[in-house]
């Protein structure tokens, strides 16, 4: 006999079993911003969020529960790690504030480092370290079947910024576990950044909910722009060209390999900055402000400038909590250069447990040290930037150095990187360029569009944002619908995960 609930489901045309499957974690399809399930859930979330706008505690609890569900849809039952980090660092910070003896404060911050970096080391580096030890001792190592929880590198670093700032007496510890759980788990930036500092975000938590016209308009602008970057430009050139070249570089000419590298440089930028834009935009719609995470990095005229524009939340985190802790530039120039190389070595290792990431980080570290040395030898003041033709040449050289490093970042093994470079230097074959354009017109059209938009003056973005802000509500809604329609037209059969999910 059918129950009232069965009759209700039947009247609505909903299969409860199918609905349950959709709401459960699917390791083959983790929930991301551009997925259909997120759009439907977010629509319902916004409705409840608005209803709770004047009930502070209930709203914070609701957002925190939704954030945990969002993480469950990304990593399954590993959401308990998020809870472990949250509770442990909350309690450690409270104990640290009460400690009157310095050695106890040091012991507590060391405990926080052990918990966070210990989790990170186990899930991310166990197999890598096992293989290194086996290769050094001549033994064998069978990798463990360890699942890497999505975004663990991001939320552990974010939580560490809180305990370290409490240790340095730069902020006061929170008295509410709910507030801290809200900060660590806030879903827009949970799985792929930006890494939001406690001192920037925590003061916003208990403010009355307010979304100005400027915040709403900029939020819509960033969400639409990020969606187009990721789902149109990045995904299309990746699936239809970049992946093919990197899968077997020896089958392609040097020119095709070079275009593949240019394509990957645009792909990873559009993928990661697109996610960051969507995260910042969603946060604005909910009344919160995140720091900018990308600032047209390929416009940089030096590798130092590049790291002030690329993944700003990570580079500033490494500077403030690692580079400065190592001594920064306070212990002489040679030590400064060594500190830069160590910082970027560990920054490369943060990206993944693989020698290709280590090499990528080391290349950038050495380049940063060489640039600092050149600035000193030529008497350039700190923050000096070239102008005119020097800047143009600097941008060209820096872009190609970054692209050279992307080869090692993208390829999982050194031999593939060398094969790609070998094709470029021994079988370039520029005569195939017309055929290449004819064979991949959409790919190169999107690449040209992506780079053109990237190198436009920053003021143009401000104009576009103001235009969207001035649109009536129905105009903004139409813009979002048009962006979703465009994504549907160009997307492949499978949803492409964000590149930085693996980090």
Q: What is the mean pLDDT of each run of 10 residues along the chain (503 residues)?
A: 53 58 66 72 87 90 91 82 92 90 90 91 85 80 79 87 92 92 89 82 90 90 91 90 92 93 95 91 92 92 93 91 85 87 90 86 94 86 83 94 95 89 90 90 93 90 89 87 81 59 57
380 in any annotated domain:
no
Is 225 part of a structural domain of the chain? yes
pLDDT of residue 397: 95
Q: Are residues 286 and 414 in the same domain?
A: yes
Q: What is the pLDDT of residue 138?
A: 76
Task: Provide the pLDDT for residue 349.
Answer: 87
- Specify if 344 maps to a domain: no
Indicate the residue among 164, 184, 205 that finishes a domain.
205
* The predicted structure's pLDDT at residue 1: 44
Pair (170, 127) in one structural domain? yes
The residue out of 205, 232, 247 marking a domain boundary is 205
Decide if 306 is inside a domain. no
Pair (35, 133) in one structural domain: yes
The whole domain housing 163 covers 22-205
CA distances from 201 to 204, 406, 492 (A): 6, 32, 37
| 46 and 190 fall within a common domain | yes
What per-residue confidence (pLDDT) applies to 31? 67
Domain boundary among 152, 172, 205: 205
Domain count, the chain: 2
3-state secondary structure 148-184: CCCCHHHHHHHHHHHHHHHHCCCCCCCCCHHHHHHHH
Contact 108, 92 (CB under 8 A): yes
| 238 and 182 fall within a common domain | no
The reply to whether 367 falls in a domain is no
371 is catalytic: no
For residues 198 and 228, membership in a common domain is answered with no
Predicted pLDDT at 503 = 56
pLDDT at 499: 63
Q: Is residue 355 assigned to a domain?
A: no
Q: Which one, of 114, 55, 42, 53, lies nearest residue 85 by Cα?
A: 114
User: Annotated catalytic residue: which of 351, 364, 371, 400?
Assistant: 351
184 and 236 share a domain? no
pLDDT at 425: 92
Asked whether residue 269 is domain-assigned, the answer is: yes
Residue 84 sits in the same domain as residue 194? yes
The pLDDT assigned to 501 comes to 56
What pLDDT sits at residue 493?
47
Distances 150 to 34, 328, 471 between C-alpha atoms, Å: 16, 31, 36
pTM of the model: 0.89
Residue whose pair of structure tokens reads 């008295």 in the numeric block: 175
pLDDT at residue 220, as a whole number: 92
């Amino acid at each position: 006999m059918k129950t009232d609930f069965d009759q209700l489901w039947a009247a609505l045309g909903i299969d409860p079993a199918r609905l349950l499957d959709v709401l459960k974690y699917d390791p083959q399809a983790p929930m991301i911003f551009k997925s259909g399930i997120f759009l439907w859930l977010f629509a319902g979330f916004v409705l409840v969020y608005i209803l709770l706008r004047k009930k502070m505690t209930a709203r914070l609890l609701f957002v925190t529960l939704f954030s945990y569900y969002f993480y469950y849809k990304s990593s399954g039952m590993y959401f308990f790690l998020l809870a472990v980090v949250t509770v442990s660092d909350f309690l450690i910070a409270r104990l640290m504030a009460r400690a009157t003896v310095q050695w106890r404060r040091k012991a507590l911050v060391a405990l926080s480092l052990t918990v966070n970096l210990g989790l990170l080391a186990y899930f991310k580096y166990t197999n890598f370290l096992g293989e290194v030890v086996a290769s050094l001792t001549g033994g064998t190592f069978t990798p463990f079947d360890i699942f890497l929880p999505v975004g663990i590198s991001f939320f552990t670093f974010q939580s560490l910024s809180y305990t370290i700032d409490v240790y340095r007496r730069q902020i006061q510890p929170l008295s509410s576990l709910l507030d801290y759980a809200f900060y660590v788990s806030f879903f827009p930036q949970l799985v792929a950044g930006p890494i939001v500092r406690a001192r920037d975000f925590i003061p916003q938590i208990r403010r009355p909910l307010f979304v100005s016209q400027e915040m709403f308009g900029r939020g819509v602008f960033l969400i639409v722009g990020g969606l187009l970057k990721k789902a149109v430009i990045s995904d299309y050139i990746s699936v239809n060209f970049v992946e093919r070249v990197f899968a077997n570089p020896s089958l392609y000419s040097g020119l095709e390999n070079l275009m593949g590298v240019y394509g990957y440089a645009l792909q990873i930028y559009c993928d990661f900055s697109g996610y960051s834009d969507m995260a910042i935009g969603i946060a604005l719609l909910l009344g919160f402000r995140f720091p900018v995470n990308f600032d047209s990095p390929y416009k940089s005229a030096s590798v130092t400038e590049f790291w002030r524009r690329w993944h700003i939340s990570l580079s500033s985190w490494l500077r403030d909590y690692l580079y400065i802790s190592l001594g920064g530039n306070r212990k002489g120039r040679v030590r400064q250069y060594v500190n830069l190389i160590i910082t970027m070595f560990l920054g490369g290792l943060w990206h993944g447990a693989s020698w290709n990431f280590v090499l990528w980080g080391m290349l950038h570290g050495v380049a940063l040290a060489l640039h600092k040395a050149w600035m000193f030898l030529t008497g350039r003041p700190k923050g000096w930037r070239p102008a005119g033709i020097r800047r143009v040449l600097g941008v060209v050289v820096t872009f190609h150095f970054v692209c050279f490093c992307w080869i090692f970042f993208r390829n999982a093994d050194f031999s593939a990187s060398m094969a790609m470079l070998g094709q470029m230097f021994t079988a370039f074959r520029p005569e195939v360029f017309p055929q290449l354009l004819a064979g991949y017109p959409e790919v190169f059209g999107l690449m040209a569009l992506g780079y053109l938009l990237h190198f436009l003056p920053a003021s143009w973005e401000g104009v576009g944002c103001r235009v969207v802000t001035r649109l009536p509500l129905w105009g903004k809604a139409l813009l979002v619908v048009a962006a979703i329609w465009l994504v549907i037209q160009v997307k492949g059969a499978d949803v492409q995960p964000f590149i930085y999910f693996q980090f």
